């Protein structure tokens, strides 16, 4: 059986976007909670902006995540 080889991601420092795991580490929560913030499932919390990357995967622009986090901390 053949297995698919995935390309390695460039280092996070050289990218302007982050994966769900990286955003979760930045926010101090789980990957599932990041997905809940993104879909608007957490009451009283505005949606975390993201960009679709394929049919199910999403990426988060680091500037948008930092702005979202700053807005949440100022409340």
| φ, ψ (nearest 5 deg) of residue 37 | -60, -40
Q: Could you tell me the pTM of the whole model? A: 0.84
Q: Tell me the per-residue pLDDT of 3-35, one tens digit each, with 9 for 90 and over.
A: 888 889 899 889 999 999 999 999 999 999 999
Q: What's the CA gap between 24 and 43, in Å, rounded?
A: 19
Residue 74's pLDDT band, with cuts at 50, 70 and 90, is confident
Task: Indicate if the pLDDT at residue 2 is higher than 90.
Answer: no
Q: What is the mean pLDDT of residues 47-70?
A: 93
Dihedral sign (CA 16, 21, 27, 33): positive
pLDDT on residue 49: 95
- Alpha carbon 57 to chain centroid distance? 10
pLDDT on residue 60: 96
In CATH, what is the architecture of 17-74? Orthogonal Bundle (1.10)
Domain boundary assignment for the chain: 17-74
């Amino acid at each position: 059986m053949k297995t698919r080889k995935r390309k390695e991601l460039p280092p996070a420092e050289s990218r302007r976007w982050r994966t769900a795991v990286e955003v979760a580490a930045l926010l101090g929560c789980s990957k599932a909670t990041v997905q809940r913030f993104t879909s608007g499932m957490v009451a009283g919390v505005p949606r975390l902006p993201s960009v679709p990357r394929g049919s199910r995967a999403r990426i988060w622009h680091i500037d948008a995540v930092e702005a979202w986090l700053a807005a949440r901390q100022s409340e």
